[in-house]
Chain A
Amino acid sequence: MSQESAVSALEPAPLVEGPQDFNTITEKVCSIVEAPTPLAWYVFFAIASGCASMLLFMLGYLVWTGIGVWGLNNPIGWGWDITNFVFWIGIGHAGTLISAILFLFRQKWRTSINRAAEAMTLFAVACALIFPGFHVGRIWVAYWMAPIPNQMGMWPNFRSPLLWDVFAVSTYGTVSLLFWYVGLVPDVATLRDRATSRIRAMVYGALALGWRGSNRHWHNYEKAYMLLAGLSTPLVLSVHTIVSFDFAVSVIPGWHTTIFPPYFVAGAIFSGFAMVLTLLVLCRQFFGLKELITMRHLENMNKIMLATGSMVGYAYAMEFFIAWYSANPYEKFVFINRAFGDYSWAYWTMVTCNVIIPQLFWFRSLRTSIPVMFVISILINVGMWFERFVIIATSLHRDFLPSSWAYYTPTWVEMCTFIGSFGLFFMLFLLFVRFLPMVAIAEVKGVLPTANPHPDHRELHAEAH
């Protein structure tokens, strides 16, 4: 696993830079929340919430008028809607991955970034849920997808990948929320104890649940946290696997593919890390967290992107090989059509952004250059959006019977909806950085050299976590 190799290479550099003690860390993180709101925040928040309200208006228009306000047609029943869904869900994978998998792999460097990453996960999942929710023709009966008794005495069809999605994504959302909240409790307690105004004391006090750092609590807490990590790991892998089933389980050439689960998971990690990077580069710039979120963190993430990006590239190649090897004319056609058909522009955008550009990360100088990695991380997100679009649209627009072939272009409604979802995402993220500690204070303290009185800390650390 790439993370493993990452570790060994990483031992020397310190996890936290500069002269730090417990209090400076507390100060650094809490001051962001306690200091008066910077003007820039208001500006960004205004823009973000503006887009978010546009999203609301677009969805209202959709529900009022009909799915026809989108550009979908007969062969192409899914377009930007499901593309955006998979896109956001993919992004939503980094948080839990960093929190859970890196935790299990003892990647202590995760501590300064996991909080923000988890928050991002939740917001991404929230954005993702909008699309499957609203893409249905009759949203007012969408609750039929839940196994609750209704007037028809009917139950959902548990054979449908779409229903698996409902369970997978809702479970994922719930567990991620719990995971995030459990991590937050001690830090919220810190904010509570530092609160100067009554209202803050009340709110943070309520959120902290009366946490008092009791070691008898830490005892259960750490056990629970570890188990939660253990549970989230298969969960995070299962979610994108199941999302990939939406396509892999079908009979449509270009969808009916066994490589999809690993391919989708790799893609999810890929896009998730890209989005985390985009956000953290901004945060550490704005909130002066350079000592906590160090170049080492960023570099590690870039390495992971390089690795997962190459996996995705491998998957692209393998799809073509299998198409040729299967000797199935329909399969062959779909892939040739992807690369050279009406949608080739989308395909090559995808390949460029996802496979070619990340190769720049082989060079340490580029890997450690903030502007470079920032641009690349954005390009990767563009590329990953196109990956989902290519998979969905190109497979549908030309399948078995040429007579039903068609072309699909989105309407302004779809575009505004997508932009709106970004508005919602950033609005939530801005609220998060404003009111909650975006670095896991307690955890970072735990990885300070002074934090561990024992000589051979590796073994004990292992036991404790």
Chain B
Amino acid sequence: MADKIFGILAEFKTPASILDAAGRAYAEGFRQFDCHTPFPVHGLDRAMGLAASKVPWLVLGGGLTGGSCGLLLQWWTSAVSYPLIIGGKPLFSYQAFVPVTFELTILLASFGAVFGMFALNRLPMFYHPIFRAPTFHRATDDRFFLSIEAKDPRFDVARTRQFLEAIGGENITVLEA
């Protein structure tokens, strides 16, 4: 169905050019656009005007949950649910409970980081229109792509294509949704 369009994709050769292109696109007023690079190109975030990542908050949340649940678990099991005299130590011998608390903090914080990151990135997502682009497979090799999505208010197939040509994009492809 040719009528439904996802956006337009342009290919660039070097990190410098994609960085430049991203800056121009932002200046042009585009917001719903994205860059696809084989490795993180430094400065691109700023050029695209991305806000700070939310991942750290998820990590913090995970860590706090892990720590508090860990300590709570140990207190409840050893001092409340089944109190036992062990080695003449108090029922709630917190000194001995530090390691497990620590480990659980780390564990859940890491979960926050990894699964949080994937969630924020909407991954896994096995189908995406951009994969249809003939040369896009090089986005994980040595090419750098700029895609402007149709849902951007300033998007217009013809003009956006011209704009991309103007900033030096090659193999410009219109992506069908």
Direct contact of A and B (CB under 8 A): yes
A-side residues, CB < 8 A to B, are 21-23, 26, 147, 153-159, 163-164, 167-168, 171, 174-175, 178-179, 181-182, 186, 189-190, 192-194, 205-206, 209-224, 227-228, 231-232, 234-235, 238, 242, 245, 441-443, 445-446, 450-454, 457, 460-461, 463-464
Among A193, A453, A457, point to the contact of B139 (Cβ < 8 A): A193
Name the residue in A155, A190, A223, A224 with the highest tally of chain B Cβ atoms < 10 Å from its Cβ.
A224
Nearest residue in A to B143 (C-beta to C-beta)?
A: A22
21 contacts between A and B (CB under 8 A): A21-B142, A22-B141, A23-B142, A26-B142, A159-B78, A163-B100, A179-B110, A194-B141, A212-B131, A214-B34, A220-B117, A223-B53, A227-B113, A231-B109, A232-B110, A238-B106, A245-B99, A442-B38, A453-B16, A453-B43, A454-B42
Q: How far is the CA of A234 from the CA of B101 in the complex (A)?
A: 13
Among A154, A193, A211, A228, point to the contact of B114 (Cβ < 8 A): A228
The 5 closest A-B pairs by CB, nearest first: A224-B117, A22-B142, A209-B124, A155-B77, A193-B137
B67 interface residue per 8 A CB criterion:
no
B106 lies within 8 A of A212 (CB): no
Q: How far is the CA of A192 from the CA of B124 in the complex (A)?
A: 14
A452 lies within 8 A of B55 (CB): no
B77 lies within 8 A of A147 (CB): yes
Identify whether the interface residues of B are mostly helix, strand, loop, or mixed.
helix
By a CB distance below 8 angstroms, the chain B residues around A234 are 102, 106
Q: How far is the CA of A445 from the CA of B87 in the complex (A)?
A: 56
B89 lies within 8 A of A159 (CB): yes
Q: How far is the CA of A402 from the CA of B50 in the complex (A)?
A: 71
Nearest residue in A to B62 (C-beta to C-beta)?
A: A231
Extra contacts besides A159-B78, A168-B99 (12): CB < 8 Å: A22-B142, A153-B81, A178-B114, A194-B141, A211-B140, A212-B139, A216-B34, A219-B53, A223-B53, A231-B110, A238-B102, A445-B39
By a CB distance below 8 angstroms, the chain A residues around B74 are 158
Contacts A214-B34, A224-B116, A227-B55: A464 and B40 contacting too (C-beta < 8 A)? yes
A231 lies within 8 A of B36 (CB): no
By a CB distance below 8 angstroms, the chain B residues around A232 are 110
Interface string of B138-149 (1 = CB under 8 A from A): 111110010000
B130 interface residue per 8 A CB criterion:
yes
B163 interface residue per 8 A CB criterion:
no
Q: How far is the CA of A450 from the CA of B14 in the complex (A)?
A: 8
Q: How far is the CA of A156 from the CA of B45 in the complex (A)?
A: 48
Q: How far is the CA of A193 from the CA of B73 in the complex (A)?
A: 46
Contacts A213-B36, A214-B34: A186 and B121 contacting too (C-beta < 8 A)? no
The size of the chain B interface, using a CB distance under 8 A, is 70
Name the residue in A159, A179, A186, A443 with the highest tally of chain B Cβ atoms < 10 Å from its Cβ.
A159
B103 interface residue per 8 A CB criterion:
yes
Contacts A223-B53, A228-B113, A453-B41: A209 and B106 contacting too (C-beta < 8 A)? no
Among A22, A238, A454, point to the contact of B43 (Cβ < 8 A): A454
By a CB distance below 8 angstroms, the chain A residues around B126 are 205-206, 209-210
Q: How far is the CA of A22 from the CA of B14 in the complex (A)?
A: 10
A193 lies within 8 A of B140 (CB): yes
Say how far B76's CB is from chain A's closest CB, in angstroms: 9
A231 lies within 8 A of B106 (CB): yes
Say how far B78's CB is from chain A's closest CB, in angstroms: 6
Contacts A159-B96, A171-B107, A224-B116: A189 and B140 contacting too (C-beta < 8 A)? yes
Q: How far is the CA of A132 from the CA of B171 in the complex (A)?
A: 58
By a CB distance below 8 angstroms, the chain A residues around B19 are 453
Among B53, B99, B117, B130, point to the contact of A238 (Cβ < 8 A): B99
B120 lies within 8 A of A450 (CB): no
